[in-house]
Structure 1
Amino acid sequence: MNKPKRTLRAKTITMAHGAGGKAMRDLIEDVFVGTFANPDLEQLEDQARFELAELMQSGAQLAFTTDSYVVDPVEFPGGDIGSLAVNGTVNDIAVSGAIPKYLSCGMILEEGLDVELLRRVVASMKAAADKAGVTIVTGDTKVVPKGKGDKIFINTSGIGVIPEGVDISASNCRVGDKIIVNGLIGDHGAAILNARGDLALDVTLETDCQALNELVQTMLKACPDVHAIRDASRGGVATVLCEFAESSAVSIRLQEEHIPVRDTVRGVCEILGLDALYFANEGKLVAAVPADKAEAVLEAMRNHPAGKDSAIIGEVIESNYNRVLVKTHFGGERILDMLVGEQLPRIC
């Protein structure tokens, strides 16, 4: 027997939508279950259930991650907090070499939130999940009083399966490895900064927010022995490389002239005295690849839409100091340290 479809008729979120009663059920069934629309979620159980045999067909290990998303503004050029939450969690799974499968979605909503804004964010999550080939299978909703939140906070957790023989880790970098990025860095941080309107810059900047799971699998086909991959989100490329250097007990030397940065992002950095290497990204990864496979990996990446602007930007060198160096346009070198203090612009 078909159940009658519940409909959320409220224009804004109230405390009742988090109270566990009829209003909350209307919200969940209409906005979340109705949009995400898959058999696992439609069971409305307190957990999602999977066939272990099906997961084991894809690999020998599970990858599991969780992340929380807070951004102002909630919607920005090229994306919103919904696509950010899905793609960010997919990427955290993907850079292990895993194939992302399932996501959870935890929503903390502020009383007074416009329901139409919420519907747009949820629709964006559905579109991003479909594009990445993952399914949102379970979730939770809470409502906080007005003034105690910032419109929407989202937590997403993800599960993926690591294929047999894949071993990607920040501790695997080796002397001679080439360092590769999959495109122009700093777009997301610059786009968020500009979207807030504080600087009144007359430029067009969009987030780079995208899922990278297909790109990572493309890289692994070209070189199954990719040593390390991380997505360069908070803290940017600089922080990822410092983590590589510390975890692998090596040093890394970058060639500044080879680092791809959009002219508008470079201009924003020059105006504010910032460094694009510290700007957040939501669709960029950094990889350490054996030198003899680097060109093959680079070619494969450039043939994928998410890696068309990929570049080799440096190499792993032997050193006792476990640090990152940048050879500048002028021929000198500077030390690139891990982000100290608060990130500018603050994105979450």
Structure 2
Amino acid sequence: MNPVTYARASDTAEAVRLGAGSAAAYLGGGTNLVDLMRETVAQPDTLVDVTGLSTAIEETEGGGLMIGAAVRNTALAEHRAVRARYPMLSRAIVAGASAQIRNMATVGGNMLQRTRCTYFYDTEGSRCNKRAPGSGCDAIDGVNRIHAILGASAACVATHPSDMCVAIAALDATAHVQGGNGARAIAFGDLHRLPGDHPEIDTVLAPGELITAIELPPLPFAATSTYRKVRDRASYAFALVSVAAAIEVEGGIVKDVRLAIGGVAHKPWRAFKAEALLRGGPVSEAAFRSAAAAEFADAKPLRDNTFKAELATRTLVAVLGDLAGAAA
């Protein structure tokens, strides 16, 4: 591990000032960043500790929630308003990691965690465009069971590892950030990038920009929501596929719906095609499967992950069926 300078920010303005260097990194719980530093994937020269900032969960005037970026994952999952009004988010967080990690990890850090692709972490023996731009991608022809089937490119087929972010994507959240040029709000669905020719750039954040909060809008039917994760083992494993879903049913018809899928793309995948087909349509297994098929029509599986589209389809159909029954 390379020598680093540590500084604890007293407020957001100081954090942004300290984080302005090209090799600076913001430190939340450190549950991913420290691993990356240990493996020499990340080599910051300055760590700016932001764990004392933005620790509140507050009601917004419109009836949503403003969640500070330094809120611990455990606190968010256990918050009464989250459990009652956005249960998919609480369940996604609990599904995401061990209790010890949830107690340390922060909301902002969770959003910025990097892929768990084994080639990305193998600094000695593997080519990885995300870690070393222009070097190549060994995952494309390698062991690629966990990799992307949607939105990938010839440069990168890695998947986003977060469970929490899948639920947040489904909820139409907004990320609030602060940087050298002031504050701005970013639709959460636009925060993370698909790989394209630059998979080393994970988000649209400018250098030194700090996530200060995530805002959940009022969404009454999100009370009928859930998160389901399919993985190789029952505890502490990353998703092969996952589904965050909320549905509103009226007279046997889908009045509204929100869907996001994890484990299939470089970012949390909002299932807009499936949502559009479901709205105004009947509550039926056939309709759910048809919508899922449309969402995965452009999937490009690799040698080892052809199962993912069907697995995600079955998971989506099952989740929507359970929720529709509860909504009715």
TM-score when scaled to structure 2?
Answer: 0.31
Q: Which has the higher helix share?
A: 1
Greater C-alpha Rg: 1
Question: Higher relative CO (CA 8 A, sep ≥ 6), structure 1 or 2?
Answer: 1
